[in-house]
Structure 1
Amino acid sequence: MTAQLLRPRWIRHLPMTFGGMSAKGVPNDVFMSWIHPLRHDRSIRRDLDKCLRNVPKKRPLLEWADQQRSFDGPVLVVWARDDKLMSAAHAERLAQHFDNSQLVWIDHIR
């Protein structure tokens, strides 16, 4: 049902759906290619349902994030300065999470 509701363009461009992901909007043919499998393949819907019903709780997510600190290789964090969904503070926090990281900002995109 969700995939059907996303068919009208005006719904897709709302900030609470996909409107915040693109400064100029996602082209119709691209967006429809994203939701086509969800609309037409029962196994895709089943897998999405499993995924959404099994989102880990906050505690294991924080534990996994803490385990990442042991990674000592180089980490490149690339972030859109104008991102509406994830703030600049998130980028800075992620970059500080690793000892060997570089934060690169990209302007005029989301």
Structure 2
Amino acid sequence: MIKDSADRSPLFENAQATDLTRFIVFDPDMDERAVAAGYEEAAKRLASSVTGKPVDDLILMPLLFLWRQAIELILKATIRDLCKIRRARGENQDELKTEKVAVRAPPQSK
């Protein structure tokens, strides 16, 4: 259990669950990077529960899924950011257009 603010992830600083009515928080403006940070935080918490016993093998696939989701979302956001930078620098190749990038790296649905 988290004891003080120094132990809290930055992800939860603005949405602290102080009672059960605020336990599940959804922010409609949450971007892909924030969702990726949530997956990363969940993966770290799950990994911290590993005791080295055979029963821990049961959490391997969920742990890998969480890490994969975090990596995938960060990669997609980074691809879109880099294409945007290239467009801002004057490059106008067809594959850099926003619509084309969205097809190749669709954003996380809200």
Tell me if TM exceeds 0.5.
no
Which category of TM-score, normalised to the shorter sequence, fits these structures? under 0.3
- Structure with the largest fraction of strand: 1
TM-score under structure 2 normalisation? 0.28
TM-score under structure 1 normalisation? 0.28
